[in-house]
Chains A and B, each alone.
Chain A
């Protein structure tokens, strides 16, 4: 498959050679659009200063690697076919496409240069547009271009170029059928398609084209064959090519072409440079790339671009690899620094408690041992500043008085609280439980139903949480 070369250059010379005349367009790709400038239109004549100047300019820009040169193989010496594979997978389909194309070709595939510029999954199968040209024709076309102007780097397909340029200049609504008729000095090229894609391309020789009735009959045969099952579809007809400016001839054709099928006629602008614009623009674009210079016919510039691109990818991968290596080293270094700072803090904190001579890895143990002896000796001092059991006692007394509790025994320690007594109501015992929770004890309350004394006997125990 042809590769897009959008990464390579922003300038392209599109050449349209036919019957000894040359049309050259210089296209420059900008951010969102491509602008075209007509460089030369006339016979290939080295004695003509304009021709020489145009060729010198194009060759110089090409030699500096600033521009590419594009041309196309005519529809008459090439084949365009839509192929359908039985697979849903595009990669699988790619493997069988050459075999499918081989069946369709009137000559062996080995003698052809072929590309599949469009491969689209459709209804669980894959459809592919195949373009093929015999190597002999390809070589003679390259030679023709070389002798008339310059050897092209990219050799596009005339039908595809006409179709995409027609759609670019006069956009089609989805589903609408269009025939773009490119009137050339020696033939008329008919390209049929919808907005989505080209359907077929045909070439009519000029003698046939000069006889309007015969031409119209040929057109209707083509439409009938290509639009089988689409009898109701109206077709939009658009003229282009150098001959499209001959209003009288076009009017004559339209008169004979008028039918139920062909609903409207239109004409493109700047028709002389239409095909040259098309090939130049397409060589700078990524849409439906098609370069029939494949295999042994690949241009040296294309080889260099591919090599450069390969180098660029290799460089990017190498840079990514090196970056990942550096990130890894940096990450480990950061962790090491963090650990070493933490170790320093640890040693310092242990030294503050234990004194000098703290062993690595034994910091906590040694500090704990150093503190353990002092803790027992200093505990009474800290206890004096802690929560006193006398406060618990006072709080219990207060609650008992308020809730009408009577104690039989009451034991208060800093770590435990035990109460045994009676209450005049089942729920009043709860108040001592609430207090215990508030003071940080885990309560356990047992109650008995009121006995002969009509009081609820309870037993409360609480341990410090």
Chain B
């Protein structure tokens, strides 16, 4: 009789343990599903933040490179034209100038050639980009000349960064 009581008690314990196990499994399943969603969102957010941080580091490195230049004053485009040996009849107009990071100014210039041999255009751009700080091409529009030959009407938008010392 006593043995039967012990056996019955053991089965009650076993049933209770299995019931708890079932309940906990259901609860864990619910919690786990919710947590997995949160973890996935946080992991994605962390990736985004790491991307932002890396982008920010690249930007800082770019600024640092400019800061390291020996001269922060830009060479006038007219001088660049002369150095490239192309038409000095180009029309140069300043489009805008606005301050950017760390005391630097972004300057954008329109350069218009009525007739320019395409070879000359390549030489001009090459010389412009070699300047320190460099002149960068932003936009280029070429229209073929009515006249025969390789000349064309060229409109360029150039930009550079400059810091007054």
User: Which single member of B4, B10, B35, B63 contacts A315 (CB below 8 Å)?
Assistant: B10
Q: Could you tell me the distance in whole angstroms from the C-beta of B29 to the nearest C-beta in chain A?
A: 9
Q: Known contacts A324-B24, A335-B35: does B143 contact A364 (CB below 8 Å)?
A: no
Nearest B residue to A378, CB-CB: B59
B95 within 8 A of A: no
Distance in angstroms between the alpha carbons of A59 and B141 in the assembled complex: 114
Q: Give the size category of B's interface with A.
A: 35 or more
Nearest B residue to A381, CB-CB: B62
Question: Which of A46-54, A251-259, A367-375 is found at the contact surface with chain B?
Answer: A367-375
Chain B 20-39 interface 0/1 with A at a Cβ cutoff of 8 Å (1 = within): 11001101100110011011
A353 within 8 A of B: yes
Nearest A residue to B140, CB-CB: A412
Nearest A residue to B18, CB-CB: A321
Distance in angstroms between the alpha carbons of A255 and B45 in the assembled complex: 98
Q: How many residues of A contact B (CB 8 A)?
A: 65
Check B45–A335 contact: CB distance below 8 A.
no
Q: Known contacts A315-B14, A318-B13, A411-B140: does B24 contact A339 (CB below 8 Å)?
A: no
Q: Could you tell me the distance in whole angstroms from the C-beta of B79 to the nearest C-beta in chain A?
A: 19
Check A382–B59 contact: CB distance below 8 A.
yes
Distance in angstroms between the alpha carbons of A364 and B41 in the assembled complex: 11
A338 within 8 A of B: yes
Q: Known contacts A314-B13, A375-B59: does B45 contact A410 (CB below 8 Å)?
A: no
Nearest B residue to A385, CB-CB: B62
Check B129–A388 contact: CB distance below 8 A.
yes
B86 within 8 A of A: no
Check A314–B21 contact: CB distance below 8 A.
no
Q: Known contacts A307-B4, A328-B24, A353-B49: does B161 contact A384 (CB below 8 Å)?
A: yes
Check A349–B118 contact: CB distance below 8 A.
no
Question: Which of A267-275, A401-409, A434-442, A453-461 is found at the contact surface with chain B?
Answer: A401-409
Q: Known contacts A335-B35, A346-B45, A374-B59: does B10 contact A311 (CB below 8 Å)?
A: yes
Distance in angstroms between the alpha carbons of A394 and B129 in the assembled complex: 13
Check A382–B28 contact: CB distance below 8 A.
no
Distance in angstroms between the alpha carbons of A343 and B39 in the assembled complex: 9
Check A318–B17 contact: CB distance below 8 A.
yes
A389 within 8 A of B: yes
Q: Known contacts A367-B49, A378-B62, A380-B106: does B25 contact A314 (CB below 8 Å)?
A: no
Check A389–B140 contact: CB distance below 8 A.
yes
A383 within 8 A of B: yes
User: Which single member of A349, A380, A394 contacts B100 (CB below 8 Å)?
Assistant: A380
Check B144–A328 contact: CB distance below 8 A.
no
Check A409–B21 contact: CB distance below 8 A.
no
Distance in angstroms between the alpha carbons of A379 and B45 in the assembled complex: 23
Q: Which residues of A contact B31 (CB under 8 A)?
A: 332, 335
Q: Is the interface of B mostly helix, strand, loop or mixed?
A: helix
Distance in angstroms between the alpha carbons of A421 and B152 in the assembled complex: 13
Q: Which residues of B contact A323 (CB under 8 A)?
A: 21
B122 within 8 A of A: yes
Check B14–A374 contact: CB distance below 8 A.
no
Q: Which residues of B contact A168 (CB under 8 A)?
A: none
Q: Known contacts A318-B10, A328-B28, A406-B144: does B138 contact A378 (CB below 8 Å)?
A: no
Q: Could you tell me the distance in whole angstroms from the C-beta of A261 to the nearest C-beta in chain B?
A: 54
A352 within 8 A of B: yes
A304 within 8 A of B: yes
Q: Which residues of B contact A92 (CB under 8 A)?
A: none
Check B7–A311 contact: CB distance below 8 A.
yes
Check B42–A321 contact: CB distance below 8 A.
no
Q: Which residues of A contact B11 (CB under 8 A)?
A: 310, 314, 317
B53 within 8 A of A: yes
Distance in angstroms between the alpha carbons of A367 and B21 in the assembled complex: 43
- In the complex, besides A378-B101, A382-B62, A390-B129, 7 extra interface pairs with C-beta distance below 8 angstroms are A323-B21, A367-B52, A380-B106, A380-B161, A385-B65, A406-B144, A411-B139
Q: Interface of A with B (CB < 8 Å)?
A: 303-304, 307, 310-311, 313-315, 317-325, 328-329, 331-332, 335-336, 338-339, 342-343, 345-346, 349-350, 352-353, 363-364, 367-368, 371, 374-375, 377-385, 388-390, 393-394, 397, 406-414, 421
Q: Report, nearest first, the 3 A-B pairs whose CB atoms are least far apart.
A: A321-B17, A324-B21, A314-B10
Q: List 19 A-B contacts (CB under 8 A).
A: A311-B7, A314-B7, A315-B14, A318-B18, A320-B18, A321-B18, A328-B25, A331-B32, A335-B32, A335-B39, A342-B43, A346-B42, A374-B101, A377-B100, A381-B66, A389-B140, A390-B126, A390-B129, A409-B143
